Amino acid sequence: MPYLHRLGVDVVWLSPVLRSPMQDNGYDISDYEDIDPIFGTLGDLDALVEALHERGMRLVMDLVVNHTSSEHSWFRDSRTPGSPCHDWYIWRDPKPGAHPDPAAPAGTPRGDEPNPWMSAFFGPAWTWDAERGEYYLHLFAPGQPDLNWDNPNVRLEIFAMMRRWLDRGIDGFRMDVINLISNDQARATTDPSRGELDMVFQFEHMALDQENGNRFCPIPLHLPAMKRTRARWNLGLSGHGWNALYLSNHDQARPVSRYGDPVSHRHASATAWAGMLHAHQGTPFVYQGEEIGMANYPWADISELRDVETLGYWHEHVEVEGENPAAVWPGIVAGSRDNARTPMQWDGTPGAGFTTGDAWLPVNPDHLDVNVAAQVGVPGSTFEFFRRMISLRHSLRVLVDGDFDLLEPDHPVLWWVRRLWHGRTFDAVANMSSDGLLWDLPEGDVVLANCAPPVHGHRPADRLSPWEMRWIVS
């Protein structure tokens, strides 16, 4: 709590902590009313809420209601004829006239699925349930059956459960894959006049460095595409909805590895991306470790990974389709969600200060140098940059309500955002490359920078060093 408070955090978002068999790191909930024992107890959660509220912070819980775990009592009951939960999930008969192969390997079609849909985690989106004699739909893993939101009783039960958590002191929810239960426009669903959602996470910019949206097939990022995508969402929701600003979360590779230069310019590239993102309108999100520049893990073998999506991709492409493992492996290393899930690096001790035991994933060996203890209170550190940036987000009204403009949209390495509010001009300018850049920079007070200011006789004021970023107010 003191660490988060010092950073300037307003809201803490917890990934799922409810009871779960953990087939997908808690995104397969088996009991919406209790905390999973690996995380603690309901009493521990109450203490967390109280500690946050005492410091003026709030708690948002990750809530997954597109689907449950296949171990949830609702799903078990749905197999029973006459059960109140009989149609709480999406069940379908086999395709008429088809001849199934009962010996089909797990994760491959039997041949009589209701339709050829594939799951997000690879393999068919339908799994045969011998007890009920029907297929059930799961847009993700087989252990995550989709709820039937067309059933009003499902909706009422979900709403009642959410109200019980709010009554307990939770301040809000992040609704996981909520777009899958109903398609609507972000501008409409986040419009305050409708009273539905406060903000939206969009994923368009997350696919710009992927071939056909496949995280395991990375391609070089074209910066103008990123600039234009962020600008379009900024302008599209302005005055009507609200953006969530993020580059990193539990499902994404570390941004300094994905977009920056973690070897030669880790601090500068990590902070350049953060500074330009936070210059947009919306609520910024900082994923744990992002504020100290944590990078991807140097994976050496598939046995080190735990992510169900990663293992599903490897199984389908290597074990089923017979692709060359050496050709598939680089995409696994770059794109696996487990890159974001290694333990938080608190210090340089063997367990990184996270544990003295064995964590679910290995500690990144770079924790000896990249850790909280080495950065908090240290001028020029990545943590102190984030702390200063968050403080300015709190104090500069132009960053909240200012009009938005993207300058030099086609420049391949320069990112320039301008915000205007009541006669005040805010410019965020960055060189998003590992080479120096000469540019005629705007005049004004530099309120945030990730590199030492120009010194007369050393370099011109209009030369941006590799990955240099400045916030300028005039």
Rounded to 10°, the helix 382-395/266-277 angle is 10
Arch. (CATH architecture) of 2-68+152-368? Alpha-Beta Barrel (3.20)
pLDDT tens digits, 437-448: 999 999 999 999
- State how far the Cα of 189 lies from the Cα of 47, in Å rounded to an integer: 33
CATH topology of domain 402-473: Immunoglobulin-like (2.60.40)
Three-state DSSP class for residue 281: coil
Mean pLDDT of the chain: 94
Three-state DSSP class for residue 285: coil
Q: Can you give the pTM of this predicted structure?
A: 0.91
- State how far the Cα of 310 lies from the Cα of 333, in Å rounded to an integer: 10
- State how far the Cα of 341 lies from the Cα of 362, in Å rounded to an integer: 10
The 10 Å CB-count burial string (b at 16+, else e) for 46-78 is eebbeebeeeebbbebbbbbbbbbbbbebbeeb
Three-state DSSP class for residue 153: helix
Q: For the chain, what are the domain ranges? A: 2-68+152-368, 402-473
Contact by Cβ (8 Å): 31, 18: yes
Q: What pLDDT does 136 receive?
A: 97
Pairing verdict, β 244-245 and 283-284: parallel
Beta strands in 149-282 (DSSP E): 172-175, 210-211, 214-218, 244-245
- State how far the Cα of 350 lies from the Cα of 291, in Å rounded to an integer: 21
pLDDT tens digits, 374-431: 999 999 999 999 999 999 999 999 999 999 999 999 999 999 999 999 999 999 999 9
Q: What pLDDT does 460 receive?
A: 62
